[in-house]
């Protein structure tokens, strides 16, 4: 009879393994939590260090602020002082090489680093305080990354990528809303900084080329999402969710997005999202229009014409595939089938911001925007339509209201001539900031602050104030004279705008620029008187086209434009 092995040894062996396995299963999450807590502690320490480093900038900036920016309105001044102190000067950080070899603009929250689209709203506002060196350094961090990213060398398909944010090296393997060229142009329009755009143009072209290939894998002109590697700072985040960070993180249009391999290239991983986003396509269009303007200003006519053709093709694709004539809205697509994803998010209004909507489409969009059951809540504009089944008033990119996206909607309204509606939107934002403070996002139905207080990109309300309260349009050369503007008085960096009477505007520029003064309520040809330092301009110095008056302003001179009755 064969002897059997004692069972007790086998039982003890199995139990020991089970016990060890349990210990491992318990220990691993604890170790991960400990590491996450350590990373969190390091982030808080870095944020604390940045705040300390920024104090001299805050002190000097606030002492000098009203020499560069001031208004006649105490309510607006209070808002302006708050975001300059807490959200702008307080976020200036010293170099953090190798990722950030120059001074940079920090954010708060989960990541402390220089973000892409957030920073564009910051530099757009900081441009008025005449600190060209700081802004040059902020942009130079992006140029440095394009030149030196070890994971995106020149000649590779990754070359030209600008990461979502900069802090660690090598950078994260995904980008963000691509308005880099638009932000650069918005700075130059205010500062007349030719050196900035000369330095920037080749890098802006490289970044756009990366978007046009790595984020348009089927070559139809519509932009997709993607990521080369997942966010390591948050261990729970998948590669799919990382790709969503290239736009509005938890937007419902990308909830079921999948990543695939490149359909036209054998190499590489499953890095490419199967969603073509209205918002991403619009933001690329905003930057490509800026590249056209910069190229033309620098005498690079062939480059400008090339981009004009690209813009035309991109708009054609957007019109043919993303517009739903029955739903009267623009919708994100499934990349492979071109099927529209019928979730109404704020993305549709950005077709006005980038100038892609036809006037007829813009009118349809505006009618929906004004509807209190769809979009026009107490504090518009929610990120998802209030009638959509995915809507939640405090949902993160699922119905909440972000100041930056509301600003972009306002920008589109002004572009298409809906100045009164843009003005109403601006007044509601001023009321919101006055009642509830400056915040990352809000419940648009109640005004309840959500997220991070004094988030820097929420300074984008300044752009709304400039356009709708003081009439200064996106080019900082066109002045749409507001109704009942008597008494308004603004100094914004190198531009001063005064309204001593209704239908009268006084303009003074620190550099030569061509002004276009528009009286929007005028029907037919306008009659106006234009003077420079009290002396009427000669007829050949002024062009009048219906309700628009055009003239060249010399530096330091005061020009007065009066609509004649």
- Average pLDDT (325-344) is 98
398 pLDDT higher than 50: yes
Mean pLDDT score of the chain:
92
- The percentage of the chain sitting over the pLDDT mark of 70, rounded to a whole number, equals 93
Q: Under 8 Å CB-to-CB from 383, ≥6 apart: which residues? A: 248, 251, 345, 346, 395, 397, 398, 399, 400, 401, 402, 405
325 pLDDT higher than 70: yes
Greatest pairwise CA separation for the chain in angstroms: 125
- Average pLDDT (517-534) is 91
User: φ, ψ for residue 380 (rounded to 5)?
Assistant: -70, 160
274-314 residue pLDDT tens: 999 999 999 999 999 999 999 999 999 999 999 999 999 99
Q: Within 13 Å of residue 415, how many CA atoms lie on the same side as its CB?
A: 22
Q: Do domains 67-468 and 478-563 have the same CATH topology?
A: no
Q: Break the chain down into helix, strand, coil percent, rounded to 5.
A: 45, 15, 40
CA–CA gap between residue 9 and residue 73 (Å, rounded): 85
pLDDT for 487 equals 98
CA–centroid distance for 290 within its chain: 14
pLDDT for 255 equals 94
Query: Could you give the strand order of the β-sheet that contains 528-532, starting from the edge strand earlier in sequence?
Result: 69-71, 489-492, 495-498, 504-509, 558-563, 528-532, 535-536
Backbone conformation region of residue 174, classed left if phi is above 0, alpha if psi is from -120 to 50, else beta:
beta
231 pLDDT higher than 90: no
Q: Within 13 Å of residue 232, how many CA atoms lie on the same side as its CB?
A: 11
R_g (Cα) of the chain, nearest Å: 26
- Count of other CB atoms within 10 angstroms of residue 513: 18
CA–CA gap between residue 120 and residue 109 (Å, rounded): 18
pLDDT for 236 equals 67
405-460 residue pLDDT tens: 999 999 999 999 999 999 999 999 999 999 999 999 999 999 999 999 999 999 99
Q: Within 13 Å of residue 171, how many CA atoms lie on the same side as its CB?
A: 33
CA–CA gap between residue 404 and residue 325 (Å, rounded): 28
404 pLDDT higher than 80: yes
pLDDT for 42 equals 83
Q: Under 8 Å CB-to-CB from 435, ≥6 apart: which residues? A: 447
CATH of region 478-563: 2.60.40
Q: Within 13 Å of residue 18, how many CA atoms lie on the same side as its CB?
A: 6
Q: Is 80 helix (H, G, I), strand (E, B) or coil?
A: helix
Pairing of strands 542-545, 548-553: antiparallel
Higher pLDDT, 343 or 11: 343
pLDDT for 43 equals 80
pLDDT for 237 equals 83
Query: What is the torsional sign of CA 202, 216, 178, 473?
Result: positive
Residue 88 DSSP label:
I
CA–CA gap between residue 435 and residue 465 (Å, rounded): 17
Q: Under 8 Å CB-to-CB from 65, ≥6 apart: which residues? A: 81, 84, 129
Distances (CA, A) of 76 to 73, 146, 265, 440, 461: 5, 39, 53, 19, 10
CA–CA gap between residue 123 and residue 159 (Å, rounded): 25
CATH number 1.50.10.10 given to 67-468: yes
Residue given tokens 């090489």 in the structure block:
97
Omega cis (within 30) before 512: no
71-126 residue pLDDT tens: 999 999 999 999 999 999 999 999 999 999 999 999 876 678 999 999 999 999 99
- Count of other CB atoms within 10 angstroms of residue 133: 9
Q: Which residues of 331-361 are buried (b: 16+ CB within 10 A; e: fewer)?
A: bbbebeeeebbebbbbbbbbbbbbbbbeeeb
Instruction: List the chain domain ranges.
Output: 67-468, 478-563
Per-residue HEC secondary structure of 346-363 comes to HHHHHHHHCCCCCHHHHH
- Count of other CB atoms within 10 angstroms of residue 42: 11
Pull the structure tokens for residue 186: 């918005």
């Amino acid at each position: 009879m064969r002897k059997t092995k004692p069972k007790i040894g086998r039982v003890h062996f199995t139990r020991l393994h089970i016990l060890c396995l349990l210990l491992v299963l318990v220990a691993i999450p604890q170790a991960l939590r400990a590491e996450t807590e350590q990373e969190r502690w390091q982030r808080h320490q870095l944020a604390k260090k940045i705040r300390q480093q920024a104090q001299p900038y805050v002190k000097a900036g606030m002492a000098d602020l009203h020499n560069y920016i001031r208004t006649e309105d105490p309510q607006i001044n209070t808002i302006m002082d708050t975001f300059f102190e807490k959200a702008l000067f307080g976020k200036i950080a010293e170099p953090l090489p190798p990722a950030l070899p120059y001074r940079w603009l920090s954010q708060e929250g989960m990541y402390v680093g220089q973000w892409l689209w957030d920073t564009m709203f910051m530099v757009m506002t900081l441009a008025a305080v005449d600190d060209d060196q700081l802004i040059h350094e902020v942009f130079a961090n992006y140029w440095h990354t394009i030149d030196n990213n070890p994971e995106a060398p020149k000649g590779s398909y990754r070359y030209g990528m600008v990461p979502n944010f900069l802090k660690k090296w090598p950078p994260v393997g995904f980008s963000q809303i691509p308005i880099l060229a638009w932000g650069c142009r918005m700075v130059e329009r205010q500062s007349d900084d030719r050196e900035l755009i000369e330095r920037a143009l080749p890098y802006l072209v490289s970044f756009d080329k990366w978007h046009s290939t790595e984020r348009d894998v089927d070559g139809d002109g519509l932009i997709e999402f993607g990521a080369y590697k997942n966010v390591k700072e948050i261990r729970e985040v998948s590669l799919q969710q990382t790709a969503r960070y290239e736009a509005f993180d938890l937007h419902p249009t990308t909830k079921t997005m999948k990543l695939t391999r490149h359909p036209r290239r054998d190499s590489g991983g499953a890095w490419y999202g199967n969603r073509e986003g209205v918002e991403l396509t619009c933001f690329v269009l905003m930057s490509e229009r800026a590249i056209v303007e910069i190229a033309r200003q620098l005498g690079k006519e062939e480059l400008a014409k090339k981009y004009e053709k690209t813009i035309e093709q991109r708009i054609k694709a957007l019109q043919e595939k993303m517009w739903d004539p029955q739903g009267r809205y623009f919708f994100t697509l499934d990349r492979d089938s071109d099927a529209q994803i019928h979730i109404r998010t704020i993305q549709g209004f950005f077709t006005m911001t980038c100038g892609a909507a036809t006037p007829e489409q813009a009118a349809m969009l505006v009618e929906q925007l004004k509807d209190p059951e769809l979009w026009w809540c107490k504090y518009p504009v929610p990120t998802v339509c209030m009638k959509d089944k995915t809507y939640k008033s405090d949902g993160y990119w699922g119905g909440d209201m972000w100041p930056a996206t509301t600003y972009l909607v306002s920008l589109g309204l002004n572009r298409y001539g809906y100045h009164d509606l843009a003005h109403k939107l601006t007044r509601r934002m001023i009321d919101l900031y006055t009642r509830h403070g400056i915040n990352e996002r809000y419940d648009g139905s109640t005004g309840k602050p959500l997220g991070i207080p004094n988030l820097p990109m929420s300074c984008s309300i300044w752009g709304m104030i400039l356009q709708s309260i003081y009439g200064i349009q996106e080019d900082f050369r066109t002045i749409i004279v507001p109704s009942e503007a008597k008494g308004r008085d603004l100094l914004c960096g190198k531009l001063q705008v005064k309204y001593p009477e209704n239908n009268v505007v006084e303009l003074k520029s620190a550099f030569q620029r061509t002004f276009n003064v528009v009286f929007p309520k005028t029907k037919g040809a306008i009659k106006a008187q234009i003077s420079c330092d009290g002396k009427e301009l000669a007829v050949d110095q002024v062009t009048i086209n219906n309700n628009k008056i055009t003239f060249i302003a010399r530096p330091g001179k005061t020009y007065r434009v009066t609509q004649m009755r």
